[in-house]
């Protein structure tokens, strides 16, 4: 099968390069800046294995190159999902399966609005960053997840599962992807904490004040999703409510438990913080902002997540970004909570 990647940024390039090195014909659709360095890109796993594009891979900025792909991974930021759906509707063949490998709760639904029922929801649980050498490095651990689907789509998903296995990655096929996406959303609420403070993921876990902020956002998310749904699935070793409780424990306990749940490169930055530092629009509205929006729609309040969303919005276009220290962020959230 021929696999396309629409929106080949850090995640898209990492997945595409890994598949290409495993013998899959791959077409990466990205910015011209990616095309210009196509002969130098590489993907490095958390274990340190390095992969490069095979000779039959294509890197392009022309969406028409996806016309003959059999399966297309969508990895654009959530703000570009509707535009991606419209673009793909113009070029994809009728039999092409589309997999949304994006953050947030609604991306697969938005793609289905443009592309019909051939869209499967998916999720990338780990973080990837790009260095100055055009190398895309996996910085945290986790197995890829995607919808099992039915009929010919199910065959495509099983084939994709086998292809990722050849690449050395695990793709779990699930029947509960809405709940999986909700569970991932709760974990991703730390993206906003990292973005507001400028902390790496590891630093945010070592800071008791940052963990307090993360726990406040998670507890709020658990409460809101308990009313609005979908019910969050457990996507790491502990359910979200238990993680929120664990975050209040002393540092040595938290770090020991965290190491058992997920491996984190010490230099890994959340994708939201990477966007802030690059001066790009972030996905905060589909992360902490999504909890605040769900609460508002249900006639409820989510002041912790609304505060984080507001503060991250305030960083856009400011160089250097005026980050808050963790204690300052905690104070902002405490005021919003009336504590």
Q: Model's pTM, two decimal places? A: 0.93
Domain map of the chain by residue range? 2-175, 179-337
Q: 93-96 contacts: CB < 8 A, separation 24 or more? A: 93/67, 93/68, 93/69, 95/70, 95/152, 96/69, 96/70, 96/71, 96/72
CATH topology of domain 179-337: 1.10.1040
Per-residue model confidence (pLDDT) at position 236: 83
Multiple choice CATH, 2-175, 1.10.1040.10, 3.40.50.720, 2.102.10.10, 3.10.50.40: 3.40.50.720
Give the contacts of 339 (CB within 8 A, at least 6 positions apart): none
CB 108 within 8 A of CB 121: yes
Give the contacts of 79 (CB within 8 A, at least 6 positions apart): 281, 283, 285
Residues of the chain with pLDDT under 50: none
Handedness of CA 13, 14, 17, 23 (dihedral sign): negative
Per-residue model confidence (pLDDT) at position 289: 98
Per-residue model confidence (pLDDT) at position 253: 86
Residue in the block written with tokens 């890829």: 144
Hey, what are 270's tokens? 């959340």
CB 117 within 8 A of CB 146: no
How crowded is residue 90: how many other Cβ atoms within 10 Å of its Cβ? Answer: 11
Per-residue model confidence (pLDDT) at position 131: 87
Residue from 196, 162, 181 nearest 231 by CA = 181
Matching fold, domains 2-175 and 179-337:
no
Omega prior to 320 cis, within 30 of 0:
yes
Cα-Cα end-to-end distance for the chain: 56
- Angstrom distance (rounded) from CA 333 to CA 339: 9
């Amino acid at each position: 099968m021929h696999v396309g990647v629409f929106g080949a940024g850090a995640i898209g390039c990492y997945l595409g390069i890994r598949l290409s090195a495993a013998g899959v014909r791959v077409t990466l659709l990205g910015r011209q800046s990616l095309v210009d360095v196509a002969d130098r890109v590489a993907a490095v796993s958390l274990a340190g294995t390095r992969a490069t594009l095979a000779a039959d891979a294509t890197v392009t900025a022309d969406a028409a190159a996806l016309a003959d792909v059999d399966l297309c991974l969508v990895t654009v930021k959530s703000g570009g999902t509707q535009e991606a759906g419209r673009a793909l509707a113009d070029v994809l063949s009728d039999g092409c399966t589309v997999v949304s490998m994006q953050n947030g709760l609604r991306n697969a639904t938005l793609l289905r609005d443009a592309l019909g029922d051939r869209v499967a929801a998916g999720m990338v649980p780990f973080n990837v960053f790009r260095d100055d050498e055009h190398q895309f490095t996996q910085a945290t651990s986790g197995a890829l997840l995607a919808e099992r689907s039915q009929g010919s789509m199910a065959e495509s998903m099983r084939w994709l599962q086998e292809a990722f296995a050849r690449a050395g990655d695990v793709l779990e096929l699930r029947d509960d992807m809405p709940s999986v996406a909700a569970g991932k959303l709760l974990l991703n609420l730390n993206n906003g904490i990292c973005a507001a403070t400028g902390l790496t993921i590891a630093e945010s876990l070592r800071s008791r004040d940052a963990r307090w902020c993360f726990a406040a956002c998670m507890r709020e998310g658990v409460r809101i999703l308990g009313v609005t749904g979908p019910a969050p699935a457990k996507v790491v070793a502990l359910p979200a409510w238990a993680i929120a409780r664990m975050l209040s424990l002393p540092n040595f306990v938290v770090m020991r438990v965290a190491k058992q749940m997920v491996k984190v490169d010490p230099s890994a930055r959340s994708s939201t913080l990477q966007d802030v530092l690059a001066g790009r629009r972030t996905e905060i509205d589909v992360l902490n902002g999504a909890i605040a929006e769900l609460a508002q729609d249900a006639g409820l309040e989510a002041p912790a997540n609304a505060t984080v969303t507001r503060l991250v919005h305030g960083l856009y276009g400011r160089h250097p970004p005026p980050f808050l220290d963790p204690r300052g962020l905690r104070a902002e959230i405490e005021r919003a909570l009336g504590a």
